[in-house]
């Protein structure tokens, strides 16, 4: 582990020093010495950012991640989902008012590694209509969804399964309790949204223009 760590730190140092030389454009001893010092300091300071903790306690260096799968498989799919979600949100905004049914959904992810969980949480937030608002102590994601269809899309687990495939994680089967949790939260959100609409509908109707509702003009 220490040899692997030293290897990745050396790679980081060489990359940062090369970037310094390219950006500075100076090859004299003073600037090269400053570049060596700056690259060494940043490499030492950011050493903890070069890896992610796996679910079994191991460390995975970020340079060892399956970048081809991320770039060529997951990111194109995510970009397409973002486009589709934008169109869906546009339809909700321009459509009748009753289509908007915001709710909070609780989703317990089955991913284990930190980098996979961070990718999942950020992907949810990047997709219009859903925002990861909190992560509870047991790892449950609290997600704000704009309507029932958006919440159902999250609960389907497709995004999590694609991330697991990219990072080569085997997901355990979803239990009935996990599947029901999001639906229960969604139903509560829908009920709250419905209560707000009923309260609006039951309020006093506005007086027609030109009429005095209090009769003071008579």
156 lies in some domain: yes
Return the percentage of the chain with pLDDT > 90, whole number: 44
Pairing of strands 59-61, 51-53: antiparallel
Other CB atoms within a 10 A radius of the CB of residue 12 amount to 21
Q: Are residues 155 and 114 in the same domain?
A: yes
Q: Are residues 141 and 107 in the same domain?
A: yes
Return the minimum-mean-pLDDT range out of 20-29, 53-62, 81-90, 148-157. Answer: 53-62
Integer-rounded Cα Rg, in Å, for the chain is 26
> The tokens 């085997």 sit on which residue?
170
151-199 tens-digit pLDDT: 999 999 999 999 999 888 889 887 654 433 444 443 333 333 344 444 3
Nearest residue to 66 (alpha-carbon basis) of 158, 160, 163, 161: 163
Residue range(s) defining the domain that contains residue 20: 2-49
15-54 tens-digit pLDDT: 889 999 999 988 999 999 999 999 999 988 876 665 555 5
The answer to whether the pTM exceeds 0.85 is no
Q: For the chain, what is the domain count?
A: 2
Query: Mean pLDDT across the stretch 125-150?
Result: 95
Q: Are residues 88 and 33 in the same domain?
A: no
30 lies in some domain: yes
Q: Which residues pair with 106 in a beta bridge?
A: 142
């Amino acid at each position: 582990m220490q040899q692997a760590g030293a290897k990745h730190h050396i790679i980081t140092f060489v990359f940062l020093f090369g970037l310094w030389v390219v950006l500075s454009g100076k090859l004299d001893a003073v600037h090269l010495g400053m570049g060596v010092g700056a690259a060494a300091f940043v490499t030492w300071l950011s050493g903890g950012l070069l890896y992610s903790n796996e679910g079994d306690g191991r460390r995975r260096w970020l340079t060892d991640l399956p970048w081809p799968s991320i770039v060529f498989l997951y990111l194109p799919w995510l970009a397409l989902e973002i486009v589709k979600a934008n169109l869906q949100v546009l339809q909700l905004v321009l459509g009748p008012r009753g289509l908007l049914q915001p709710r909070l959904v609780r989703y317990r992810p089955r991913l284990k590694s930190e980098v996979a969980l961070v990718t999942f949480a950020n992907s949810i937030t990047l997709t219009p209509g859903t925002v990861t608002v909190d992560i509870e102590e047991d790892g449950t994601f609290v997600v704000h969804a704009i309507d029932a269809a958006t919440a159902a899309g999250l609960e389907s687990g497709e995004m999590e399964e694609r991330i697991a495939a990219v990072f080569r994680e085997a997901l355990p089967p979803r239990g009935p309790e996990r599947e029901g949790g999001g639906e229960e939260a969604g139903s509560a959100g829908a009920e709250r949204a419905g209560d707000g609409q009923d309260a609006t509908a039951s309020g006093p109707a506005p007086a027609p223009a030109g009429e005095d509702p209090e009769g003071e003009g008579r």
